[in-house]
Structure 1
Amino acid sequence: MIFFFGTRPGKTEIKKLATVSCSHCEQIGTLTLSKSSNWFHFFWIKIFKISNHTIIECSHCKRVYFEEEFSEDMKREI
């Protein structure tokens, strides 16, 4: 009998942070939140979530913020 199991990424959620300014270039409305996760699957059916990855990117200066770098305004908007 053959079993198919492993990990695969889930869908990425994208959200614009319209009221938060970038702490690097001070532009307002240029931040985009990207949230993705990895899942364990068995026969291509998602069983449980393994990990989450959340980043925020500024479209003006291309600065990327990781979860430990989020400001209080970014956390509040999420």
Structure 2
Amino acid sequence: MIFFFGTRPGKTEIKPLKNVICSYCEQMQTLTLSKTNNWFHIFWLKIFKISSNNIIECSHCKRLYFEEEFTNEMRNEL
């Protein structure tokens, strides 16, 4: 019997952060959250979530914020 199993990323969810200021360029309403979950799968069916990856990008200055760089404002908005 052959089993196909492994890990792969799921769909990326994109959510605008409305009332948060970019700490680099100080612009309001320019931040967007991109959230991707990594899944364990068997036969290409998602079984359980292994990890998640959150990145915030400013559309004005193009600055990326990784999870360890999130401000309290950003964390509260999530």
Name the TM-score class by shorter chain.
over 0.9
The amino acid that maps onto 1:58 is C
Indicate the residue corresponding to 1:47 in structure 2.
47
Work out the CA distance in 2 between the residues paired with 1:75 and 1:8.
26
Any stretches of 5+ residues in structure 2 without a counterpart?
none
TM-score normalised by the chain length of structure 1:
0.95
CA shift for structure 1 position 14: 0.6
Which residue pairs with 1:3 in the alignment? 3
- 1:27 & 1:58 partners in 2: Cα distance? 9
| Superimposed CA distance per residue, residues 9-65 of structure 1 (whole angstroms, 9 cap, x where no aligned partner) | 111111001111100000000000011011010011111111110010000000000
Give runs of ≥4 in structure 1 deviating > 3 Å: none
Partner of 1:36: 36
Q: Partners of 1:75 and 1:5 in 2: how far apart?
A: 34
**Aligned AA for 1:29?**
Q
Amino acid at match of 1:27: Q
* SS of structure 2 residue aligned to 1:51: strand
Instruction: Provide structure 1 residue ranges, at least 5 long, that are not aligned to the other structure.
Output: none
SS of residue in 2 equivalent to 1:11: strand
Identity of aligned residues (%): 73
